[in-house]
Amino acid sequence: MRLSHSLIPTLKETPAEAQIASHRLMLRAGLVRQMASGIYAWLPAGLKVLNKIAEIVRQEQDACGAQEMLMPTIQSADLWRESGRYDAYGKEMLRITDRHERELLFGPTNEEMITAILRDATKSYRGLPQVVYHIQWKFRDEVRPRFGVLRGREFLMKDAYSFDLDYEGAYLNYRKMMLAYMRTFQRMGITAIPMRADTGQIGGDLSHEFHILAPTGESGVFYDSDFESGDALGTGYDLASIDAFYQANTSKYAATDEKHDVAAWARVPDARKREGRGIEVGQIFYFGKKYSESMGFGVVGPDGEKLFPEMGSYGIGVSRLVGAIIEAKHDEAGIIWPDAIAPFRVSLLNLRQGDASTDAICADVENRLGAECLYDDREERAGAKFAEADLMGNPWQIIVGPRGAANGQVELKRRATGERSELSLEDALAKVINKALG
Ligand code: 5CA
């Protein structure tokens, strides 16, 4: 993509409305624009990141055996009356009336809808267990939307739902999902810590939140420093791996401040005690029969008896992750994208636009890297191009100037470390491609 003709409206000034780094940088790097309070348009570079994050989430959900589907954003109020949550949800729910005076709402989550779908489709215990998910926009009329996409009103969520015949099955799916989440976040290049948490609006008594550590986080958190190292997580979902992972992660102590347990905290060695702030990028819940019973979803069991499935639900804030990752990965100059989710693998800087040799090299690089290359082909000073590339934060910069070009050399810069080296175009490309794939 050529910068001169792309909708990446970067800003030199710091936008006054943005209080935290990620919000400022998302506006300055031209990733999003606010359309109404807590409602954002995703511009091309922002959408690329959002899609890459969603794709990693999708692959890891598929790998743990969840089936992708897609439920609508608009739901009927009657569905929510069945569970009793239509009134309980309060003002955070955006309520809509259609032309026939029928009451609808913009879904803040989908427990009711998925329970109704399963109730219709599954009559026998033989049809369970089932785990399904979708990646869909949600709306919550937050009192104070703030920090850009971190607390929006419209936001993209991955929500998964599990249905099991008994507690053991539900607990297995809960632990499996926790492992899938840790693999998901690790692939994005971030460390997220699973913490015991309250269940709030969703209900139930077992829940973990996943937090990225950042001083601007909205939640106070307590954790064991062991979590900072990011263990190897393997790939399979055999029972032994799930058990070992869950044991290792729940034997250390980590909790949000609502769940802070003084006795458990006392058992963590002093040198490993950490207190800080976290951004919640995901939350998982086990809530048993809360929805299956209230909504009358029973299946016929092996002996003809009626069984109400045990349920769990599992959310990841896909759009929130974009802001949260920037909050954890930036410096004075701009964003530092992890390789796996950067909008482009490479920023290509032509330091003398219109020079036959630099133009030719850049055209060649652009052809070979395709969609992963953002080519700064503007008639701009070198300094302006450097600043813009650092702001946007793509992991590699290939810098093509007339002196190097005459000797077939380019400069390669790694955004995260600032490390620069001069090398042949072939060597630079090999490095960029191998690193990104490896
Ligand atoms: N039904 C359950 C699990 S699917 C549920 O709704 N869980 S949740 O309320 O915890 O939301 C899941 C994730 O969505 C959160 O962990 C958070 O990362 C994200 N999220 C929640 N509210 C917002 C918001 N206002 N803006 C951006 N992301 C949000």
CATH of the domain at 379: 3.40.50.800
Region 382-407: mean pLDDT is: 97
Looking at residue 422, the DSSP 8-state letter turns out to be E
Assess if residue 361 is contained within a domain. yes
My answer on whether 317 and 416 are in the same domain is: no
- Out of 109-118, 238-247, 399-408, 424-433, pick the least confident: 238-247
My answer on whether 281 and 395 are in the same domain is: no
Q: What is the mean pLDDT of the chain?
A: 94
Q: What is the distance, to the nearest Å, from the Cα of residue 390 to the centroid of all Cα atoms in its chain?
A: 23
My answer on whether 426 and 297 are in the same domain is: no
Of ligand 1's listed atoms, the one at least distance from the Cα of 108 is 6
The model's pLDDT over 128-149, given as tens digits with 9 standing for 90+, comes to: 999 999 999 999 999 999 999 9
Q: Is 151 in the pocket of ligand 1 (CB under 6 A)?
A: yes
Look at ligand 1, atom 6, and give the residue with the nearest C-alpha.
109
Q: Is 154 in the pocket of ligand 1 (CB under 6 A)?
A: no
Q: Considering 281, 300, 334, which residue would you say is the last residue of a domain? A: 334
Q: Is residue 438 predicted with pLDDT exceeding 60? A: no
- pLDDT at residue number 437: 45
My answer on whether 397 and 312 are in the same domain is: no
My answer on whether 365 and 330 are in the same domain is: no
Of ligand 1's listed atoms, the one at least distance from the Cα of 209 is 16
Q: Is 398 in the pocket of ligand 1 (CB under 6 A)?
A: no
Assess if residue 204 is contained within a domain. yes
Cα 380 to ligand 1 centre (Å): 42
Give the separation between CA 89 and CA 282, rounded to whole angstroms. 20
**Which residue shows structure tokens 């091309």?**
44
My answer on whether 193 and 289 are in the same domain is: yes
My answer on whether 356 and 321 are in the same domain is: no
Containing structural domain, residue 178: 3-334
Give the separation between CA 116 and CA 32, rounded to whole angstroms. 35
- pLDDT at residue number 232: 76
Q: Which residues, 6 or more positions from 200, have their beta carbon under 8 angstroms from its beta carbon?
A: none
Give the number of domains in the chain. Answer: 2
Q: Is 202 in the pocket of ligand 1 (CB under 6 A)?
A: yes
Q: Is residue 161 predicted with pLDDT exceeding 80? A: yes
My answer on whether 274 and 186 are in the same domain is: yes
Q: Which residue has the higher pLDDT, 354 or 205?
A: 354
Assess if residue 339 is contained within a domain. no
**Burial of residue 303 (number of CB atoms within 10 Å: 0-12, 13-18, 19+):** exposed
Assess if residue 165 is contained within a domain. yes
My answer on whether 200 and 274 are in the same domain is: yes
Assess if residue 160 is contained within a domain. yes
- pLDDT at residue number 349: 98
| Confidence grade of residue 250 (pLDDT, cut at 50, 70, 90) | confident
My answer on whether 129 and 231 are in the same domain is: yes
My answer on whether 109 and 162 are in the same domain is: yes
Look at ligand 1, atom 13, and give the residue with the nearest C-alpha.
317
Look at ligand 1, atom 1, and give the residue with the nearest C-alpha.
109
Cα 281 to ligand 1 centre (Å): 8
The pTM of this model reads: 0.96
Q: Is residue 226 predicted with pLDDT exceeding 90? A: no
Q: Is residue 290 predicted with pLDDT exceeding 60? A: yes
**Alpha helices in 254-305, H assignment, sequence order:** 262-266, 290-294
Assess if residue 59 is contained within a domain. yes
Q: What is the distance, to the nearest Å, from the Cα of residue 175 to the centroid of all Cα atoms in its chain?
A: 19
My answer on whether 150 and 196 are in the same domain is: yes
Q: Is 157 in the pocket of ligand 1 (CB under 6 A)?
A: yes
Cα 317 to ligand 1 centre (Å): 5
Q: Considering 334, 363, 394, which residue would you say is the last residue of a domain? A: 334
The model's pLDDT over 354-372, given as tens digits with 9 standing for 90+, comes to: 999 999 999 999 999 999 9
| Confidence grade of residue 260 (pLDDT, cut at 50, 70, 90) | confident
Q: Is 207 in the pocket of ligand 1 (CB under 6 A)?
A: no
Look at ligand 1, atom 5, and give the residue with the nearest C-alpha.
315
Cα 282 to ligand 1 centre (Å): 7
Contact 390/412 with Cβ under 8 angstroms? Answer: no
Region 377-397: mean pLDDT is: 97
Considering the chain, what percentage of its residues have pLDDT values greater than 70?
99
Tell me the backbone φ, ψ of residue 145, rounded to 5 degrees.
Answer: -65, 135
Instruction: Indicate the top mutation candidate among 110, 157, 188, 210 to test ligand 1's pocket, ranked by most ligand atoms within 8 A of CB.
Output: 157
Q: Is 330 in the pocket of ligand 1 (CB under 6 A)?
A: no
Q: Considering 334, 362, 396, which residue would you say is the last residue of a domain? A: 334
Contact 67/131 with Cβ under 8 angstroms? Answer: yes
Q: Is residue 204 predicted with pLDDT exceeding 80? A: no
- pLDDT at residue number 435: 58
* Residues recorded for the chain: 438
Q: Is 315 in the pocket of ligand 1 (CB under 6 A)?
A: yes
CATH of the domain at 285: 3.30.930.10
Considering the chain, what percentage of its residues have pLDDT values greater than 90?
82
The model's pLDDT over 333-342, given as tens digits with 9 standing for 90+, comes to: 999 999 999 9
Cα 203 to ligand 1 centre (Å): 14
Q: Is residue 434 predicted with pLDDT exceeding 80? A: no
Region 267-276: mean pLDDT is: 90
Cα 23 to ligand 1 centre (Å): 18
